[in-house]
Amino acid sequence: YQASDLLRLLAGHLATAVAPGLHDAVPAMLVHRRLDAAVVEKELFELISRHAVGAAARTSGSLDSRRKQEVYLEARRPVVALQRELEREAEKLATLDKRDDRLGPGAVSAEWRSCRGRCDELRENLRAAQQNAAASIFATLNDESLGMGSDAGESEGLCIDLHGLHVAEAKAKFDELVVPVLPVLGRCVVVTGRGSHSKGGEAALREALVRHARHRALRCAVMQGNGGALEISLPVLE
């Protein structure tokens, strides 16, 4: 497949930090997204972020889990800001008339051209911000002095943190980030939380994802010794 530099960089970070097989998952993700490399770039970046947060929640070291999550949120901040600005400009562009017949037959509106140029500029800035943030997160994820290092990637493999999402959002992220890589990795840990802060103290997100995974014919079990995480794997063929 023809991969962009950013796509290769993100896949390389994941393959090094989590599992070498993630390189092989990229073609499957591209097929899943109808060869939309921009969408897959975004999903790989989110995989790095959510794996890093999940690893932070499971490890101990000189930084506590809350501080580690702050590191990742800070790294993502420019990306989130650019994504929001790009969404606003894209919505504005959709409302503008491309043609301005006052300037001549088929002439392009100056306002449309300006807005389109701004969208293109924001897309390039977003790609650069994703690359920088991914590199920052990757460095932190592999920094043993922060109590993370190889423990985060090797002891549990890929770990996706969906804690804090609404059920519908978590199901969508599960389908986007977990399902495409399972055929390659065979196994993934999904952090859901124990429901300690939810109404009634029930683990609503965990149970919803258990049902969702099983509906997709995947094996799903609460991790032994960690009621706030699920182990997802492919079914055993008879």
Q: What is the pLDDT along the chain (238 residues), one digit of tens a residue?
A: 445 666 666 767 666 666 666 666 777 777 777 777 777 777 777 777 777 666 655 554 444 455 555 666 777 788 888 989 999 999 999 999 998 888 888 899 999 999 999 999 998 888 888 777 766 665 655 454 334 333 333 445 677 877 767 788 889 889 888 888 888 778 888 888 776 545 555 678 899 999 999 999 999 998 887 778 899 998 866 5
End-to-end C-alpha distance for the chain, whole angstroms = 33
pLDDT, residue 148, reads: 39
Q: For the CA atoms of 90, 91, 92, 94, what is the dihedral angle to 10 degrees? A: 90
- The answer to whether 14 and 123 have CB atoms below 8 angstroms apart is no
Instruction: Tell me what pLDDT residue 139 has.
Output: 61
Residue 92: its pLDDT value, please? Answer: 95
pLDDT at residue 31, as a whole number: 74
| Nearest-angstrom CA–CA distance, 12 and 98 | 40
Radius of gyration (C-alpha) of the chain in whole angstroms = 20
* Position 209, amino acid: L
Tokens at 72, concatenated: 């990742």
Q: What's the rounded Cα separation, in Å, for the pair 16 and 23?
A: 9
| The pLDDT value given to residue 34 | 75
Residues in the chain: 238
Longest Cα separation, the chain:
71
Task: Report the pLDDT value the prediction gives residue 62, as an integer from 0 to 100.
Answer: 43
Whether the predicted model's global pTM rises above the 0.85 cut = no
Rounded distance, CA 138 to CA 72, Å? 10
**E strand residue ranges, the chain:** 159-161, 187-191, 219-223, 226-233
